[in-house]
A and B are shown apart, each in its own frame.
Chain A
Amino acid sequence: MAKDLVSTLADLKEQEALKIVEGRLSAGEEPLKILEDARKAMELVGKRFASSEYFMPDLVYSGEILKAVTDMVKPRMSKEAEIKRVGKVVFGTVAGDIHDIGKDIVVFMLDVNGFEVYDLGVDVPAQKFVEKIKESGAPIVGLSGFLALAFDSMKQTIEAIQAAGLRDNVKVMIGGGQISEEIRKYTGADAYGLDAMAGVSLAKKWAGAG
């Protein structure tokens, strides 16, 4: 039996991982099962990143391998078997802040964990969040900010969501920089995450509940 895809992919062994996928596909295995393994591997990658074992380049590399795997698997999938998206998330770095590396990591982790992410970019005005929430109907909002002053922008963004009458429709998480429970209270967010995986856990919890 071929080596375990989950551990091979999580160890970032690209060639081996692709070979396993190839073998399983030609053995006629259900494509969705392969994707499920890939998702589990990415969860491990995320955990290793959170514990500092992996670093940003590893994350980027894992993304490349994942893309290669999906490219191989997708043509074998029937339409209705398209990867089921578990939920929608509107995400962005708040107004006045232009940091994107941390935000990109969370967006990536949400994406590989099956979320449909609307990434609004950086320095995003509150109104743009409001519009996107309306348009997409996403029940989850992620506000990122590295600058301590971004906390004010987070607060203002949540106030704008409230003013638009959408506050009860969405759960808001904040993250980036030195975030704490006190800051969560200050901004009026529902929860905060200290790293990318915490963001994914929150989104999963909320998607499950909603």
Chain B
Amino acid sequence: MTACTIDFEPVGRRGECQNNESLLACARRLGVGISSVCGGKGTCHSCKVQVLSGTVSKPTPNEREAFTSQELKEGWRLACQTYPLSDCKLTVPPESMTTTQRIQVEGLEVKVHPEPPVRAYRIQMEAPSLSAPDADADRLLQVLNQQHQLNCGKIDINVLRVLSTQIRSWNWEFQAVVRNDEVIALLPQSSHQLGLAIDLGTTKIAGYLINLSDGLTLAAKGVMNPQISHGEDIISRITGVVHSPDDGMLLQKLAVEAINGLCADLCAEANAGIEEIVEAVVVGNTAMHHLFLGLPVKQLALSPFVPAVSRAVDVKAGDLGLHISPGAYVHLLPNIAGFVGADHVAMLLATEVLPAKIPVVALDIGTNTEVSLIHDGKITSTSCASGPAFEGGHIKYGMRAATGAIERLRIVDDIIQYQTIDGAPPIGICGSGILDALSQLYLTKVIDEGGRITDNHPRVRTYKGQREFVLVGKEERGGKPAITITQHDIRELQLAKAAIRSGIQTLLEASGCPEDKIKQVIIAGAFGTYIDVASAVTIGMLPSLPLNRFQQAGNAAGMGAKLALISLTKRAEAQVVASRVKYIELAGAPGFDQTFIQASYLGQYRIIDGKREEID
């Protein structure tokens, strides 16, 4: 059968469909990011595409479930269930693309000497004979000892299951991958040893494929966390699990399948095989960490917020259902306490703040914001419930950072200037835009320092008993409803920003560090990367400091995961960081309520003895 050419629109990628692969498999190989939550089983219906021209296989029962007969007639199909029979042209709608959601994968690269926990050894074995009929495994261990002076005593069961067949097919020449005293994988001579670093976020998952021998990143990619369908924040996911324990297994599976899909995409991009991945590191907040491992979470969500495990964990990929080399280990960095988990440890690792003597604040802003203060050689950390407002949640026209979201906003002489993601017509406002809006409304005195919308601007109107500020009018949107910021939105933002500021303030007070002594503020995470720091300072979300003291570090948690993947020294350092951190629970901190109320005010100020002192 001749190969068919597939044209993916609107991304404009075109290529040959090989070996009877599905449209999804073809898309993956060509680097077209079609989302697949179920991993190609036809059950999640996330890989919808429309066939514009060409002949394809008949709809499967799964597709009949996913579409109406009208939709099928229009050419709508699931990419994972559909096989091309001729050249085809397809439309991939935005909701099926993994790349529409802007997901931060880049971060500052930190150079580190590769010192991976796994090593591959080249093996040349003699074929057995009647006079030397020793078991294949025994002879392999012997060769490792003779040729490489290794005292391996263990062979992974998955390796044993394929050992005899594989080494014969490789004609007794291959590579044995060893971790501590265990043979965890066998690879052909030509294979690389790859590693997988995963930042498992509540909303997004970022993955990195790394060459373990030189530490270089071969591919990087982000996808949405499919657990979102079980709750946007970790608390609602935990609640779901507590009330129906089967959900725990389901959430674990969802995360693993998403990582499997991500991993397949990364391998396709780097032209690598998943069996070449012989080690993985996963970081996440404590809740994501526990849900990924299938650990109990109820005790984590209730005071005094105790994790099941804090120390680093090594677990076999096969035990988790992760599709990499089945004998490979997945290493989870240690958690700190409460919700401050391995991702924060990874961030501290990547930003190299540990040796710092000068005061440094490092924070990762999200639905939960983790903050650390490094002062006088000590680290204090806390977790603030900043809520979903900066992800667009609970905001009338809020949305995630996707096409059409207002991401930057300025008010100049009563004219609203804004920039949307991809330059598309505005459909809502995402976190960085929301922050800009709040700052601009404050600077132009449309809202007062208490956050109340005053009635002094032509764009202020009252709608359903509540004041709101019109960002994009109905006429500017061709008759669609105006995009506004309501009084209620502003209150939500104040709660979110007060949570972050009072978290920082509490750490400063607990460490006896005056705010103006902070020499560096490191802001990590996707949201933190895209925000205008000046806006965050204007509204008092971040301390009032010269802007050159702020550093936006990108996905530092992902970078830390990479470091821990390629360097044993960094892993040891992570353990040291985690054990040195002193965790402070905000709700139990003295004077927290007063601090929180002060921190809800807009403007630049210091909080001293529970009172605000303005700074011009």
Contact = CB atoms under 8 A, between A and B. Distances in A.
A149 B450 contact: no
Given A57-B597, A57-B601, A148 B465 contact: no
B301 A98 contact: no
A98 B600 CA distance: 20
A123 B303 contact: yes
Nearest to A97: B303
Given A51-B466, A52-B466, A52-B488, A97 B593 contact: no
A122 B587 CA distance: 10
Nearest to A186: B243
B235 interface: yes
- For B235, B467, B600, which residue has the most chain A Cβ atoms within 10 angstroms? B235
Question: By CB atoms of chain A within 10 A, which of B242, B303, B467, B596 has the most?
Answer: B303
B236 A148 contact: yes
Interface in A80-124: 96-101, 104, 122-123
A151 B601 CA distance: 31
A197 B301 CA distance: 28
Nearest to A96: B302
Interface string A35-65: 0000000000000000111111110100000
Interface residues of B, number: 30
A152 B238 CA distance: 13
Contacts of B491: 52, 55
Contact of B238 (A51, A52, A98, A149): A149
A198 interface: no
B298 interface: yes
B133 interface: no
Contact of A58 (B236, B298, B450): B450
A147 interface: yes
Contacts of B467: 53
B494 interface: yes
A170 to B, nearest CB: 25
B593 A100 contact: yes
Contacts of B588: 98
A123 B587 CA distance: 11
Contacts of A148: 235-236, 238-239, 301
B5 interface: no
A149 B452 CA distance: 33
Contacts of A56: 596-597, 600
B302 A149 contact: yes
Contacts of B466: 51-53
Interface string A178-208: 1000000000000000000000000000000
B596 A101 contact: yes
B451 interface: yes
A145 B200 CA distance: 29
B487 interface: yes
A84 B469 CA distance: 43
Interface string A158-184: 000000000000000000001000000
A147 B488 contact: no
Nearest to A100: B593
Contacts of B236: 148, 178
A149 B231 CA distance: 14
Interface string B591-604: 00100111011000
A183 to B, nearest CB: 11
A151 B302 CA distance: 11
A199 to B, nearest CB: 18
Interface in B469-501: 486-488, 490-491, 494
B506 to A, nearest CB: 14
A152 B242 CA distance: 10
A60 B487 CA distance: 19
A58 B491 CA distance: 12
A147 B235 contact: yes
A120 to B, nearest CB: 15
Contacts of A60: 597
A151 B242 CA distance: 11
Select the residue from A53, A55, A104, A178 with max chain B CB neighbours within 10 A. Answer: A55
A104 B490 CA distance: 22
A62 B94 CA distance: 50
Contacts of B597: 56-57, 60
A100 B302 contact: no
A54 B600 CA distance: 12
Among A60, A99, A100, A147, chain B packs the most CB atoms within 10 A around the CB of A147
Contacts of A96: 302-303
Given A148-B239, A149-B298, A52 B303 contact: no
Interface in B576-592: 585, 587-588
A55 B298 CA distance: 33
Contacts of A149: 235, 238-239, 242, 298, 301-302
Contacts of A151: 239
Nearest to A149: B301
Contact of A53 (B238, B298, B487, B587): B487
Given A51-B466, A55-B494, A152-B242, A147 B302 contact: yes
A101 to B, nearest CB: 6
Interface in A7-59: 51-58
A99 B487 contact: no
Nearest to B231: A148
Interface string A110-149: 0000000000001100000000000000000000000111
A97 B301 CA distance: 9
A104 B452 CA distance: 22
A175 to B, nearest CB: 17
Contacts of B450: 55, 57-58
B502 to A, nearest CB: 11
A97 B587 CA distance: 10
Nearest to B236: A148
A148 B486 CA distance: 27
Q: Which of B450, B467, B486, B601 has the most CB of A within 10 A?
A: B450
Contacts of B487: 51-53
A186 to B, nearest CB: 9
A56 to B, nearest CB: 5
Nearest to B491: A52
B167 to A, nearest CB: 53
A101 B593 contact: yes
Nearest to B452: A53
Interface string B294-322: 00001001110000000000000000000
B238 to A, nearest CB: 7
Contacts of B600: 55-57
B389 to A, nearest CB: 13
4 closest A-B pairs by beta carbon, nearest first, are A96-B302, A148-B239, A98-B587, A52-B488
27 contacts: A51-B466, A53-B466, A53-B467, A55-B491, A55-B494, A55-B600, A56-B596, A57-B450, A57-B600, A57-B601, A60-B597, A97-B302, A97-B303, A99-B587, A100-B587, A101-B593, A147-B301, A147-B302, A148-B236, A148-B239, A148-B301, A149-B235, A149-B238, A149-B239, A149-B301, A149-B302, A152-B242
Given A52-B487, A55-B600, A57-B600, 10 more contacts: A51-B487, A52-B486, A57-B597, A58-B450, A96-B303, A122-B587, A147-B302, A149-B235, A152-B242, A178-B236
